[in-house]
Amino acid sequence: MATSVKEMLNTYPADLGGVDREAMAKCIEECIACAQACTACADACLSEGMVGELTKCIRTDMDCADICNTTGAVLSRHTGYDANITRAIVQACATACKACADECESHADMHEHCRVCAEACRRCEQACNGLLATLG
Q: Is 106 helix (H, G, I), strand (E, B) or coil?
A: coil
pLDDT of 1 above 60: no
pLDDT of 2 above 60: no
- The mean per-residue pLDDT over the stretch 66-81 comes to 91
User: pTM for this one?
Assistant: 0.93
d(Cα 12, Cα 10) in Å, to the nearest integer? 6
71 by Cβ neighbours in 10 Å (0-12 / 13-18 / 19+) ranks as buried
**Could you tell me the domains of the chain?**
20-135 (1.20.1270.360)
Write out pLDDT tens, residues 26-70.
Answer: 999 999 999 999 999 999 999 999 899 999 999 999 999 999 999
